[in-house]
Structure 1
Amino acid sequence: MPELTGDPNQHDISKFSEELTGNCLCGSIKVTIKDNELFTKPRGHLCHCANCRKVAGSYVASNLVIEEDKVKIDDAKGTLKEFVDTETMSGKPLSRFFCGTCGNPIKSVTPAYPGKIVVKMGMFPRIPQPEFESFALHRHPWQAQHAGVVQYKTRSFGEKMN
């Protein structure tokens, strides 16, 4: 039986003071984030839009909006694939990247964040505390609230929930 490795509490955040590395399910794609503020303040982003939920395969997507030059993607076996999502609320297509072997989501690139990318956080051993939620109007009624997390009704940095 393989060793259970999914417990984030087994990974002391002090190990990630300069960078955080994760990989897709099959190991073909390795992603490294170089940022010394990942765990010093809330940084993550939870998205409840239908498209992000589909990509995440869950009721919410755990993302990180970050400067593109802080992220290194090693695609050792050439499995990184792109899907151009044209069914967006803004009407502007965005690119969703995933591993063509295991299907693991890797990142999204959207015109809404010039010079930044949206890294899909499920592939990392620890995830930064979220600072905001987008499409909070689309939350399921049974979802718990996250104390101190800003909720935007729909688009990030748009109209806030009360």
Structure 2
Amino acid sequence: MSNIAFKSEFTGDLKQRDISKFSEPMTGTCLCGSISATIHDKGLFGDKPRGHLCHCANCRKASGSFVSSNMAIEKEKVTYEDKNGTLKVYDDWATGSGKCVKRSLCGNCGSPIMSQSEIVPHMYILKMGMFPRIPKPECEGFAEYRHEWQGKHDGLEQYALVRGQKKLGE
């Protein structure tokens, strides 16, 4: 068995770091560092929760997990750089709305970066796993698709399907 000691900058407990260092601006990168995205938003870690969890099949596939941790944010609050030209875009037409969702990822390391939906053309849907801190989510979309073994997140709005529409249990 390998006896490699991982540096805390890669595997350390980010919750122990001063949140003010990640609040304005906050930059995240793909695994290989080719693509970076920076959020310019003073309210990122304010009193209002910002992110959302999506349980739709396409977001789960794009995230490689049982849920996708996202944040929809106005395009003017985000800058991104593709320093090695590795950004790839997949046009996802297999959506419930029938509208295209452009799913961006790093073509080198495979990290998901963001989505752009025709439904909200003025927003980026950032994949929060690339950032050093993740704002508290405000809601869950496609909550009726959650697995029964998943714990419930207290205080989150749960939408049966699309965010902002019918809530779970209504």
> How does the TM-score come out when normalised to structure 1?
0.96
Q: Structure 1: which amino acid aligns with 2:35?
A: I
Helix, strand or coil at the partner of 2:85: coil
RMSD (Å) for aligned C-alpha atoms: 1.0
Q: Structure 1: which amino acid aligns with 2:147?
A: H
Runs of 5+ unmatched residues, structure 1: none
2-side partners of 1:140 and 1:131: how far apart?
A: 19
Alignment pair present for 1:131 and 2:135: no
- 1:23-34 correspondence runs (5 A): 23-34=29-40
Offset of residue 10 of structure 1: 3.0
- 1:9-28 correspondence runs (5 A): 9-28=15-34
1:89 corresponds to: 96
Helix, strand or coil at the partner of 1:14: helix
Offset of residue 79 of structure 1: 0.5
1:46 corresponds to: 53
Match of 1:37 among 33, 37, 43: 43
Helix, strand or coil at the partner of 2:69: strand
Residues 109-118 or 95-104, more deviating? 109-118
Offset of residue 11 of structure 1: 2.5
Residues 30-39 or 13-22, more deviating? 13-22
Offset of residue 58 of structure 1: 0.4
Helix, strand or coil at the partner of 1:140: coil
1:80 corresponds to: 87
Alignment pair present for 1:151 and 2:155: no
Higher Rg of the two aligned structures: 2
Figure out how many residues of one structure are paired with residues of the other and give that number: 162
2-side partners of 1:144 and 1:27: how far apart?
A: 33
Identity percentage over the alignment? 54
Deviation by residue 1:105-153 (Cα, 9 ceiling, x = unmatched): 0010001213111000001111000001000000000111111100000
2-side partners of 1:17 and 1:125: how far apart?
A: 10
1:2 corresponds to: 6
Checking the alignment, whether the CA contact within 8 Å between 1:152 and 1:159 is kept in structure 2 is: yes
Offset of residue 64 of structure 1: 0.3
Helix, strand or coil at the partner of 2:45: coil
1-side partners of 2:79 and 2:120: how far apart?
A: 18
Checking the alignment, whether the CA contact within 8 Å between 2:116 and 2:123 is kept in structure 1 is: yes
Runs of 4+ in 1 over 3 A off after TM superposition: none
Checking the alignment, whether the CA contact within 8 Å between 1:68 and 1:117 is kept in structure 2 is: yes
1:60 corresponds to: 67
Checking the alignment, whether the CA contact within 8 Å between 1:26 and 1:102 is kept in structure 2 is: yes
Checking the alignment, whether the CA contact within 8 Å between 2:51 and 2:71 is kept in structure 1 is: yes
1-side partners of 2:80 and 2:156: how far apart?
A: 29
Checking the alignment, whether the CA contact within 8 Å between 1:11 and 1:126 is kept in structure 2 is: no
Q: Structure 2: which amino acid aligns with 1:96?
A: R
